[in-house]
Amino acid sequence: MVLTLGLVHLTILAGWIHADSIPLKPGDSSRSIVVDGRTRTFLVHIPPSHADAKAFPLVLAFHGGGVNAETMIRFSGLNEKADEAGFMVVYPNGTGRLEKILTWNAGNCCGYAMNQKVDDVRFVRELLDDLGKAVQFDPNRVYATGISNGGMMAYRLASELSDRIAAIAPVSGPMGTEGCNPKRPVSVIHFHGTDDDFAPFQGGRGKKSLQSICFFSVEHSMRAWVKANGCPEAPARIDKLDTVEDGMTTTRTTYGPGKEGTEVVLITIEGGGHTWPGRDPRLPLLGKSTKDISANDLMWEFFKKHPKM
């Protein structure tokens, strides 16, 4: 059976053609694999210029809790950045009782995936194995980003899948565990608004959060990864990144270098909400989104500096 849904859907065809035997081409497609008895799906965007390259970088982009991969495409605008800069983007889908209301098991959050103890780290490992059968990508330049629960998932991958993940860029999603134990150092750039009412900058339960979760603070995430990466505890530099008059102030705090040249960077948006910097928020209740910076531009510059050594 083949489903289109506006994309090329690659799946098993009646026992004689398999998805992993069909090479992916530039454009949009979807794939599915079975992990722990569940059918897991993900969307793939390959830029037109991939036809001229042997192995592109790969960015994993994780949706927030309660939405899905298609929402993440529109929310982040990463396809446009991928076409401009020349990298692939993969949008995995979480799990849930309803097809379009999905979550990730990122530690202390969220929902179905956490309650069912879904092994999302294993899913991502097998996703990368499956994708490698259909398209070339550089295994030393695999990165992860995500919003909210998806940003928390990026943190979990950095800790538990550091053999595959080179660097991460969580947005509005703090670490969801007490600590981190990467096998190798992983650079981190974290974006967070101080007026985030869903995952509060200072930690605790968000005023607008649908989950009764006490989130860890952003400082908790920074301290954990500064220590794990062997970075100096004092910032190496602090930069103001204000470029427009939008009522918000953006600051970049950089820790490092640490082991293998790693860095930990915090982008603080004073007055910013639960949003993707540089993008218009899709819902007013998410709060304000700064135009001082583009999260996509800054994270890509960061990723380019930090391949897996």
Per-residue model confidence (pLDDT) at position 192: 98
pLDDT at 9: 45
- Distance of alpha carbon 212 from the chain centroid: 23
Burial class (CB in 10 A: 0-12, 13-18, 19+), 179: exposed
- For 49: left if phi > 0, alpha if psi spans -120 to 50, otherwise beta; the answer is alpha
What SS3 class is residue 280? coil
Domain 8-305, architecture per CATH: 3-Layer(aba) Sandwich (3.40)
Contact call for residues 61 and 70 (beta carbons, < 8 A)? no
pLDDT given for residue 20 in this prediction? 53
Predicted local distance difference test score (pLDDT) of residue 18: 45
Answer yes or no: pTM beyond 0.85.
yes
Residue pair 152/107 in contact (Cβ under 8 Å)? The answer is yes
Quick one: pLDDT at residue 6? 42
DSSP string for 291-304: SS--HHHHHHHHHH
pLDDT at 35: 98
Give the pLDDT score at 21.
Answer: 54
d(CA 62, CA 1): 27
pLDDT at 212: 79
Can you say whether residue 261 is alpha, beta or left, with left for phi > 0 and alpha for psi between -120 and 50 degrees? Answer: left
Domain positions in the chain are 8-305
pLDDT at 184: 97
| SS3 of residue 116 by DSSP | coil
User: Which residue ranges in the chain fall short of pLDDT 70?
Assistant: 1-21, 52-53
b (16+ CB within 10 A) / e for 22-35: bebebebbbbbbeb
Question: Which of 92-131 are b and which e, b meaning 16 or more Cβ less than 10 Å from the residue's Cβ?
Answer: bbbbbeeeeebbbbbbbbbbbbbeeebebbebbbbbbebb
Q: Helical H runs in 38-132?
A: 69-76, 78-85, 111-115, 120-131
> What does the pLDDT look like over 37-75, one tens digit per residue?
999 999 999 999 877 667 999 999 999 999 999 999 999
Pairing type for strands 95-98 and 101-103 reads antiparallel
- The Cα–Cα gap between 58 and 74 comes to 18
**Residue 223: its pLDDT value, please?**
98
Question: How distant, in Å, are the alpha carbons of 79, 168, 213, 216, 256 from that of 69?
Answer: 12, 18, 23, 25, 33
